A = this chain, B = another copy of it.
Amino acid sequence: MSNKVMDKIGEVFAAARNVLVLTHISPDGDAFGSMTAVGSVMRALGKNVTLVVEDGMNDEFAYLPLADKVKKRLPYDGDYDLLIAVDCGDEERMGEPYLEVQDRPIIVNIDHHITNTGFGRFNLVPSSTSSACEVLYTLFDHLNYEISQDVAISLLTGIVTDTLCFRTSSVKPETLSIASALIKAGADLPSIVSRALVVKPFASLKIWREGLNKMKLEAGVAWTTLSFKDLDKPSFDGGSNAGLASMFSNVKEAACGAVLREKEDGRVVVSLRSRPPFSVAEVAVELGGGGHAQASGCALDLPLEEAEFEVVRRLKASVAAQKAALLKK
């Protein structure tokens, strides 16, 4: 990370009075964690700070310091002299609240997505970093800001959720050193992991039950389908979907997993997961979707059975081709 950029951001922070912090819509732990961490730091620096995200705070993360200060709309127009965007790849992803901002303030863009458009006046976006929270730690450390217990809890939440508790390939030695420092600063790792990552409503287990009852394993592909009527309630969340697909991709006899879920409008949402060295990104792209090598997805305008046939056919062919390529190596 560029020390020059970090120094410049430090100057901008020091000069600001009214600070607005925004993050992306459909916020996750890294979005909420980086937002509340920045909020705590700005408060400690004596700034007026406003935290806004269109979807509002999520119950799961209600333990975060300043969680009760997160608003769904801008409480007042204009008068912000600094906008800090965290964990947000582009301006559109900030949703409505961004459109409400008047008198364009200085934008500091702090993120870790490789697709970040660099929309800020100052951009701190090291894409090889595990999480926006890890970027923030490095920034705060460079600027000699105190990492209070509140800041530590927020930052560790983002790191833990974006790395699935240190299991993704984005985890570097520094990630663990930073986590170690955050625990020393007062963050309780087991409690954060439990609340942010592990605890699930009973309804999720019911959905997993449906998924397991229909699971199939053929030619290195483990998958299931969930028809709209299978689901207990229409508010089925994508997290359960992805969790089930991950579980399938971790089946020893499989290289990848898929969950096909029929939505109320008849479209089929497909979650794909694979275990390294296998990738599901190519199949997702072929089907008009996208994502990462080990986690991607798409949405299909097909009846569930046809979608299943199409997805499974392509996954089997892809696994076979990847296995052949690996054998040649």
Residue ranges of A at the interface with B (Cβ–Cβ < 8 Å): 165-169, 171-177, 179-181, 183-184, 189-191, 193-194, 198-202, 205, 208-209, 212-213, 215, 217, 222, 247-248, 250-254, 275-276
Contacts and interface: CB of A to CB of B under 8 A. Distances in A.
The 10 A-B pairs of least Cβ separation, nearest first, read: A176-B180, A209-B212, A173-B180, A173-B183, A177-B180, A173-B184, A176-B176, A167-B193, A201-B252, A198-B250
Contacts of A176: 176-177, 179-180, 183
A202 B166 CA distance: 25
22 contacts: A165-B165, A166-B166, A167-B198, A168-B190, A169-B190, A171-B189, A172-B183, A174-B180, A175-B180, A190-B276, A194-B275, A199-B250, A200-B250, A202-B222, A202-B253, A202-B254, A205-B222, A205-B247, A205-B248, A209-B212, A209-B213, A209-B215
Nearest to A201: B252
Contacts of A175: 180
A165 B189 CA distance: 11
The quantity of this chain's copies bound in the complex is 2
Given A176-B176, A180-B174, A200-B250, A166 B165 contact: yes
B200 A252 contact: yes
B212 A205 contact: yes
Which of A180, A248, A250 has the most chain B CB atoms closer than 10 A to its own CB?
A180
A165 B164 CA distance: 10
A252 B201 CA distance: 5
Contacts of A184: 173
B212 A208 contact: yes
A222 B181 CA distance: 36
Contacts of A251: 199-202, 205
A213 B202 CA distance: 13
Given A173-B181, A176-B177, A254-B202, A189 B209 contact: no
A175 to B, nearest CB: 8
A13 B222 CA distance: 49
Contacts of A215: 205, 209
Contacts of A275: 194, 199
Given A169-B190, A171-B190, 12 more contacts: A166-B166, A166-B189, A176-B176, A176-B179, A176-B183, A177-B177, A191-B276, A199-B252, A200-B251, A208-B212, A209-B212, A209-B215
